C-alpha cells in the first residue's frame, strides 16, 4: 500500500485551519495566539506518543496472519461466520484503502452479507490499530474502555439484523 503524502485531504485540513485562524483573529483577545499555542502543545504532547504507538502497531500487524484469517471467514457460513467476522475485524488496520479490497475479496470468496457486514462493523468500531495509535494515546484508556463497552454489541447486532432483513425481504439468498 502506497500512501500519497500530499493530497486533497492535506489541503482540506489546512484550509480549515486557515478559516478558523481568520475567525479567531477577528474575535481578537489573543485568541489566535492561544489557539495556535494549544494546538502546538497538543502536537508536542501527543506526537511522541503516537510515534511509539505507531511502532508497536506496525510490529503487531506483521505478527497477525491476515490472509489466513480472510480465507477462514470466506469458508465459514451462518452464525460461525458472523462470529468470526466480529472477532477478526479488529485486527485489520481500519482505513478504507485496506478494508474495502478485503471486503470485495470476501464477497467473491462466497462469504455471506451478514458476516461481511459484521466484519466491516467490527473493523470500524473495534479497530485495534486506531485504538492503539490514536484513541489511547490521546483520549486515555478510560475513554477507550467506555467507547468499547458501549459499542461491543454492535458488530453481532449488525450480523443479526442483516440476517433478519434478508430473510424478511428474501432479496439475497
Partner 1 sequence: MRSARPAKSSLLSQILGGPFWIFLGVAVLTGAVTWYLKGPETVEHAVLGDLHLLLFLIPRMLGGMILAGLVQVVLPPEVVARWVGAESGVRGLVIATAVGALTPGGPMTTFPIVVAFYMSGADRGALVAYLTAWSLLGFQRFLVWELPLLGPDIALLRLLVVFWMPVLAGAIARRLPLDPRPPTDRGQGA
Closest alpha carbon to 171 in 120, 121, 112, 122: 112
Residue 168 interacting with partner 1 (CB under 8 A): no
Considering only 70, 103, 111, 128, the residue that binds partner 1 (CB under 8 A) is 103
C-alpha cell at 70: 480472510
Number of residues that bind partner 1 (CB under 8 A): 85
Q: Kindly state whether residue 34 participates in binding partner 1, applying the rule CB under 8 A.
A: yes
Q: Is 111 in the site for partner 1 (CB under 8 A)?
A: no
Taking phi first (over 0 means left), then psi (-120 to 50 degrees means alpha), and beta for anything else, what does residue 76 get? Answer: beta
**Is the CB of residue 53 less than 8 Å from the CB of residue 132?**
yes
Q: Closest approach of Cβ 13 to partner 1, in Å?
A: 4
71 part of the interface to partner 1, by CB under 8 A: no
Which position among 52, 67, 77, 109 is part of the footprint of partner 1 (CB under 8 A)? Answer: 52
Q: Say if CB 118 and CB 89 are below 8 A apart.
A: yes
Looking at beta carbons only, is 81 or 158 nearer to partner 1? 158
What are the grid coordinates assigned to 97, written together?
Answer: 484503502
151 binds partner 1 (CB under 8 A): yes
Who contacts 116 (Cβ-Cβ below 8 Å, separation ≥6)? 85, 103, 106, 107
Residue recorded with cell 439468498: 173
Among 3, 28, 167, 173, binds partner 1 (CB under 8 A): 3
48 binds partner 1 (CB under 8 A): yes
Q: Which of 14, 67, 77, 78 binds partner 1 (CB under 8 A)?
A: 14
Amino acid at each position: 500500500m502506497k500512501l500519497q503524502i500530499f493530497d486533497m485531504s492535506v489541503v482540506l485540513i489546512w484550509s480549515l485551519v486557515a478559516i478558523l485562524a481568520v475567525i479567531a483573529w477577528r474575535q481578537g483577545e489573543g485568541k489566535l495566539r492561544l489557539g495556535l499555542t494549544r494546538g502546538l502543545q497538543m502536537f508536542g504532547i501527543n506526537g511522541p506518543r503516537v510515534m511509539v504507538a505507531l511502532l508497536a502497531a506496525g510490529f503487531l500487524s506483521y505478527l497477525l496472519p491476515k490472509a489466513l484469517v480472510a480465507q477462514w471467514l470466506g469458508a465459514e457460513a451462518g452464525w460461525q461466520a458472523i462470529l468470526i467476522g466480529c472477532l477478526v475485524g479488529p485486527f485489520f488496520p481500519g482505513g478504507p484503502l485496506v478494508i474495502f479490497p478485503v471486503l470485495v475479496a470476501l464477497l467473491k470468496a462466497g462469504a455471506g452479507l451478514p458476516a461481511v457486514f459484521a466484519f466491516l462493523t467490527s473493523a470500524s468500531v473495534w479497530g485495534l490499530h486506531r485504538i492503539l495509535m490514536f484513541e489511547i494515546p490521546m483520549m486515555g484508556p478510560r475513554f477507550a474502555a467506555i467507547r468499547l463497552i458501549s459499542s461491543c454489541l454492535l458488530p453481532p447486532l449488525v450480523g443479526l439484523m442483516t440476517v433478519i432483513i434478508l430473510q424478511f425481504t428474501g432479496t439475497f439468498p
